[in-house]
Structure 1
Amino acid sequence: MDKKKVAVPLVCHGHSRPVVDLFYSPVTPDGFFLISASKDSSPMLRNGETGDWIGTFEGHKGAVWSCCLDTNALRAATASADFSSKVWDALTGDELHSFEHKHIVRACAFSEDSLLLLTGGLEKILRIYDLNRPDAPPREIEKSPGSIRTVTWLHNDQTILSSCTDMGGVRLWDIRSGQIVHTLDTKSSVTSTEVSRDGHYIVTADGSTVKFWDANLYSLVKSYDMPCTVESASLEPKYGNKFVAGGEDMWVRVFDFHTGHEIACNKGHHGPVHCVRFSPGGESYASGSEDGTIRIWQTGPLTNDESESILENGSVAMVKVDADEVSRKIEGLHVADEGKSREKEEAGEE
C-alpha cells in the first residue's frame, strides 16, 4: 500500500464557533487573502499565504453562513442568519451597505466584474443588488423550488448557479430571462458548488459524492464516491489534476482528478469539515471545521515541470506578501475584543 504523506497544517484560531464557509481572493498586488464565515457572527480576514489574522468584520447579530471577496479584494460580502447581507470595506473593516431580507440569508457572491452582489436564502428568492446604486431595489428572481443553500456566477455573469437545502440538483438560471435553463441532477442536496478557475468545470458535493460537470454542455464528466458524507470539494486551480474534499469524518482528503485515487488524508480537525477551498495558485488549501479552526495545508513539493511552469508565469513572486504593506493597508480594521464573540447571542442559528 502506498504511504501517504503526513501534512502539518497552519492552524488558524480566532473563531469561537464552527467555521462554515471559506473564500480565497484572486492574487492581487498585495498577495491574496482568505475570508471565513462562522456561527460566531464575526467573519475574519486573513493573509491567504500565512494564515495571519488581519481583522474582524463586526456588525452581524447572528450566525454568518457565507462570505466572499471581490476580484481586487477591496470589498467583502457576508450573508447572515440576522436576515441581512452586508458589504464591507476590506481595507478598513467599515460596513458599506446592509441589505435587509425577510429571512435567513445563506449565500452571497460578487459578480466577476464586482458590480453586482447576488444573495439567496430561506426566502427562496435570488436577489441581485447593483453596488453602484445600493439604495435601489434589487432585482428579484422568485422561482427557486426550495430554500437556497449556495449561489455562484457563471459565464461572465450571464448565468447563476443555485442549490437548495432541502432537495437535490443545481439550477442554472439565465440572468436575462430569470428562468431556469437547466438542472444538474443529483440524488442528495448539493452543499458545495464551485466553478473551476479555467471555467471548464462545475464542482459539486452532494451526499457522499463529488461530481464534475462540463460548464458549457452541462453534462456529467466525472463522479467519485467518497469515504464519507462530504460537505465541500474544491479543484486545484492551476493544473486541475487533483481535488480536495472534506466532510463528516473530520479528515481532509486529496484525490487525483483523473482517477479518483486518494493521494493524501490529512487528520487534525476535531469536528466535521464544513468547507474546503484551494488557494488561487494551488500551493495550499484551507479547511474550516465544526471545531472552530481553519487549517491551511500545503500541497507538497512541486514537480520540476510544475516548478518551471510557475517560474515562467511568475506566480510565485506574485503571492509573496509584504507584511508591512498589508499592515498599512488594513490599518484601522476593527478588532474584536478577545472573547467578545463568545458573549454574542447565537441568534438565528438553524
Structure 2
Amino acid sequence: MRPILLHGHTRSLTKIKYNSDGDLLFSASKDKSPSVWYSHNGERLGTFEGHGGTVWDLDVSYDSNRLLTGGADGACILWNVSNGKELFRWTTETQNAVRAVAFAEGDRKALYVTDKTMGQSCEIFIVEISENIAQQTSGHLKRIVVQGDRATVALWGKLNKTILTGHSDGTISLWNAETGKLLKSIKPHTKLVQDIQFSKDREFFITASKDQSSLIIDATTLEVMKQYTADCPINSASISPLFPQIMLGGGQDAMNVTTTSARQGKFEVRFFHLVFEEEIGRVKGHFGPINTLAFHPNGKSFASGGEDGFVRLHFFDEDYFSFKFPEELTFEMNSDE
C-alpha cells in the first residue's frame, strides 16, 4: 500500500476531512492556511487565506459549496469552496480561540466552540447559516456556557436535536440543542478527549483520548460498547463505513519527538476489528505523532495527517477486501445454509 504524500502545509496538521462525495479532502494545520485537495491524486486545488493563527477545526457542507473553519485567532470563518473567498466571519468578544466547528444536518445551522482561557468560560455558539450570504448576520441562535473543563471537540447529533461534546478532563456530554440543557454526562476517559467521529448511520461514535484508549459509545444513551487500548496517546480515531473495523492514530507527545525514533514513538495507524477488539494491522510512514485520521466515504482508502506536516493518502490493496476472521467466515457459511 504505497501512499500519496501531500506536502502543502509548513506546520503540523490539526484536522483532515473528506467531503460527502469523497472527491475532495480538506486539511487544517497550525500554519493558518487550510487547504483543499483532490482525494484521488493528491493535487492541491487551493488554500483559504484569512486566519491569523492556528486553524484547529474545519467542516464542509453536504453539497461541498461552503467550508467552516475555527482558529486560534478567535474567528469562525465561512468560505466559498469553489473560489476560496471568505463569505462571513464570526469573532468572539474575548478573542478566545475557536476550538471546534460543525455544520448541522441540512447546513442551515452551525456551531462553534470557544476555549476556556483568560478567565472566560468555554461556550458553544449556535448560529444560523443564510442561503443568501448578503442576509447573513453575526447574531447567534443559542449560547451555551460549558461548566467545568473546556470542550475540545463538538458534533451535532441526529436530526440536530442534540450536541455532543468531548472535554479536556475525559468527559463526554450530550446537550439539548434547542434549550442548551445538559442532558447527560459521563467520564469514560481519564485524560483529554482529542477526537470524536460518528459511524455511518450515526447510531454510535468513536472517541480518541490521551489516556491511550479509544471507545465505541452509543450516541443516544452514552453507553460504552467497546474499548480499544494502545501503548501511546491516541489523537484520532475513525470508523470504517465499509467493514466492521476502526483505525487509531497517535504517538508519543510532540514535545518529545525530537528525542525519539519513529519506531519508539509509535507513529503508526493501527487497525482493529470493531467487534472483536483485536488489532489486525498497522500502517507506518509518519515521522511524528498522527494528529488526525479520516476514512474515505466509500471505505476503500483513508487519509492521515501528522505532526510532520504531511498528509498521506492510502489506498487499500485487494487483499484488504478479502480478509476475514475465522468467526466471520463461519457466520457467512451458516447464513448461506
Same fold (TM over 0.5): yes
Question: Residue type matched to 1:114 in 2?
Answer: D
Distance 2:147 2:58 in 1: 21
Percent identity between matched residues is 29
Question: Residue type matched to 2:104 in 1?
Answer: S
User: Following TM superposition, by how much is the alpha carbon of 1:36 offset from its aligned partner in structure 2, in angstroms?
Assistant: 0.6
Pairwise mapping of residues 287-298 of structure 1 onto structure 2 (< 5 A)? 287-298=304-315
Distance 1:256 1:49 in 2: 26
> 1:336 maps to what in 2?
none
Instruction: Tell me the SS of whatever aligns to 2:154.
Output: strand
Distance 1:145 1:293 in 2: 35
User: Following TM superposition, by how much is the alpha carbon of 1:304 offset from its aligned partner in structure 2, in angstroms?
Assistant: 6.7
Pairwise mapping of residues 207-246 of structure 1 onto structure 2 (< 5 A)? 207-239=211-243, 241-246=244-249
User: Following TM superposition, by how much is the alpha carbon of 1:134 offset from its aligned partner in structure 2, in angstroms?
Assistant: 2.9
Residues 209-253 of structure 1 show CA distances to partners (whole Å, capped at 9, x for unaligned) of 1100112232111011113211110000133x1111100121111
> Quick check: 1:38–1:63 contact (8 Å CA) kept in 2?
yes
Change (3 A) 1:247 1:32: same
> 1:339 maps to what in 2?
none
Residues 37-86 of structure 1 show CA distances to partners (whole Å, capped at 9, x for unaligned) of 10000000011232221110011110111111011111001110111010
Pairwise mapping of residues 151-300 of structure 1 onto structure 2 (< 5 A)? 151-165=154-168, 167-186=169-188, 187-206=190-209, 207-239=211-243, 241-248=244-251, 249-300=266-317
> 2:139 maps to what in 1?
137
Distance 1:150 1:303 in 2: 32
Q: Is 254-263 or 95-104 further displaced after alignment?
A: 254-263
> 2:126 maps to what in 1?
128
Change (3 A) 1:305 1:205: closer
Distance 1:235 1:144 in 2: 30
> 2:100 maps to what in 1?
107
Distance 2:62 2:43 in 1: 21
Instruction: Tell me the SS of whatever aligns to 2:187.
Output: strand
> 1:335 maps to what in 2?
none
User: Following TM superposition, by how much is the alpha carbon of 1:184 offset from its aligned partner in structure 2, in angstroms?
Assistant: 3.2
Distance 2:303 2:34 in 1: 15
> 1:70 maps to what in 2?
61
- Aligned Cα root-mean-square deviation (Å): 1.7
Normalising by structure 1, we get a TM-score of: 0.81
User: Following TM superposition, by how much is the alpha carbon of 1:163 offset from its aligned partner in structure 2, in angstroms?
Assistant: 1.5
> Quick check: 1:282–1:299 contact (8 Å CA) kept in 2?
no
Distance 2:280 2:152 in 1: 29
Question: Residue type matched to 1:84 in 2?
Answer: A
> Quick check: 1:154–1:195 contact (8 Å CA) kept in 2?
no
Change (3 A) 1:233 1:13: same
Distance 1:147 1:38 in 2: 21
User: Following TM superposition, by how much is the alpha carbon of 1:32 offset from its aligned partner in structure 2, in angstroms?
Assistant: 2.4
Question: Residue type matched to 1:54 in 2?
Answer: L
Question: Residue type matched to 1:261 in 2?
Answer: E
User: Following TM superposition, by how much is the alpha carbon of 1:305 offset from its aligned partner in structure 2, in angstroms?
Assistant: 11
Q: Structure 1 residue aligned with 2:34, among 43, 65, 72?
A: 43
Report how many residues are paired: 295
Distance 2:203 2:230 in 1: 22
User: Following TM superposition, by how much is the alpha carbon of 1:257 offset from its aligned partner in structure 2, in angstroms?
Assistant: 1.1
Residues 305-347 of structure 1 show CA distances to partners (whole Å, capped at 9, x for unaligned) of 99xxxxxxxxxxxxxxxxxxxxxxxxxxxxxxxxxxxxxxxxx
> Quick check: 2:90–2:138 contact (8 Å CA) kept in 1?
no
Q: Structure 1 residue aligned with 2:5, among 11, 30, 55?
A: 11
Question: Residue type matched to 1:14 in 2?
Answer: G
Distance 1:191 1:303 in 2: 29
> Quick check: 2:248–2:269 contact (8 Å CA) kept in 1?
yes
More contact order relative to length (CA 8 Å, sep ≥ 6): 1
Normalising by structure 2, we get a TM-score of: 0.84
Distance 2:3 2:171 in 1: 33
> 2:77 maps to what in 1?
86
Residues 79-118 of structure 1 show CA distances to partners (whole Å, capped at 9, x for unaligned) of 1011101010001101001110120111101111111121
Instruction: Tell me the SS of whatever aligns to 1:182.
Output: strand
Instruction: Tell me the SS of whatever aligns to 1:264.
Output: strand
Structure 1 unmatched ranges of 5 or more: 1-6, 307-350
Q: Is 276-285 or 254-263 further displaced after alignment?
A: 254-263
> 1:25 maps to what in 2?
19
Question: Residue type matched to 1:21 in 2?
Answer: K
